[in-house]
A = this chain, B = another copy of it.
Amino acid sequence: AGPGRAMRAAGAALAAAAVSAVLLAVAAWRRARPVREVLFFPSRPCCIEALLAEAAEPGAPVRPCPCPLPSGDTALSRLVRRLLSARRSLDLCVFAFSCPQLARTVQLLHHRGVRVRLVTDAQYMGMHGSQIGRLRHAGIQVRHDQHSGYMHHKFAIVDRRMLITGSLNWTAQAIQSNRENVLVVEDAEYVKAFQDEFERIWEEYNPANYKFFP
C-alpha cells in the first residue's frame, strides 16, 4: 500500500496544482479583460455609506449606517464603484449635477488627490439642489459654457482609461425615477474620442476666453 498511497498523494498534488493554475489563469484573464458594463436606471434605492467609508479609509472598520436602506448591488452602487476606482484623474462633463451622493463621491476623490475637472451647463448649474457650488467650494475646478445651446453631455473619464457615458444626468430624479442607461467602456478608441472632446470643451470654456457684452 506504501507506493500506492504515495502515487495517490502525488496524483492529488498534481490535480491541485492543475486546478490552481487554471484559477490563476482565469483571475489573470479577468484582470486583463477590459471593463464592459451596461447600467440601467431607475436604480433600486440603496445606501452607499459603506462604499464611501471604505474608499475614504481603506481597511478601517466600517461603522454600520443607521439609515434603513439596503447596501446591496444596484446600478447606483456600481456607478459609484467605477468612479471610486479613479487613482489619477476624473474628467467630468455633466449637464445637470444635483445628486448629493455623487457629489460626495467626486469630493472624496478630490480629497484623495485625484485630479478632478468638471464641465457643466451654465443654465443648469444655478438650479435648486445643484451641487456645483459645493464642489467649487471644496476646491474642484469647474468650467461652464457661455452660449445659448446646452452643454448636454453626461460622461466621465476615469484615469484617461475608462469611459462612463449615457443618458443619465447626475440627479436624484434621474437615478431614482427615470428610465436611463449608462455604458462603461474600457476601450482606447472610444476613450480617446471623448478625451479629445473633453479637452476641446475645457479649453473653449476657459474663463480667460469669456466675452462680456455691455
Kindly supply a per-residue 1/0 record for chain A positions 173-199, scoring 1 wherever the CB is within 8 Å of any chain B CB and 0 otherwise. Answer: 110111111010000011001100100
Say whether A110 faces chain B, with CB atoms less than 8 Å apart. Answer: no
Say whether A153 faces chain B, with CB atoms less than 8 Å apart. Answer: yes
Closest B residue to A41 by beta carbon equals B152
- Chain A contact surface mostly: mixed
Q: Decide: B189 and A36 in contact? CB cutoff 8 A.
A: yes
Which B residues touch A36, using CB under 8 A? 189-190
Q: How far is the CB of A147 from chain B (nearest CB, A)?
A: 8
Considering the chains assembled together, what is the distance between the CA atoms of A84 and B195 in angstroms?
A: 29
Q: Decide: B197 and A181 in contact? CB cutoff 8 A.
A: yes
Interface residues of A (CB under 8 A from B): 36, 38, 40, 42, 95, 145, 148-155, 165-168, 173-174, 176-181, 183, 189-190, 193-194, 197, 201
> 25 interchain pairs (CB within 8 A)?
A38-B193, A38-B194, A40-B193, A40-B197, A42-B149, A95-B167, A145-B179, A148-B177, A151-B179, A152-B174, A152-B178, A152-B179, A152-B180, A153-B167, A153-B179, A153-B180, A153-B181, A154-B167, A155-B167, A165-B167, A165-B183, A167-B167, A181-B194, A181-B197, A183-B190
Considering the chains assembled together, what is the distance between the CA atoms of A179 and B123 in angstroms?
A: 14
Which B residues touch A189, using CB under 8 A? 36
Considering the chains assembled together, what is the distance between the CA atoms of A168 and B194 in angstroms?
A: 15
Q: How far is the CB of A67 from chain B (nearest CB, A)?
A: 22
Which B residues touch A149, using CB under 8 A? 42, 173, 176-179
Which B residues touch A155, using CB under 8 A? 167, 181
Closest B residue to A42 by beta carbon equals B149
Given contacts A150-B177, A153-B181, A183-B190, 20 further A-B contacts (CB under 8 A): A36-B189, A38-B190, A38-B193, A38-B194, A40-B193, A145-B179, A149-B178, A150-B178, A152-B174, A153-B167, A153-B179, A153-B180, A154-B167, A155-B181, A165-B181, A166-B166, A166-B167, A181-B194, A181-B197, A183-B183
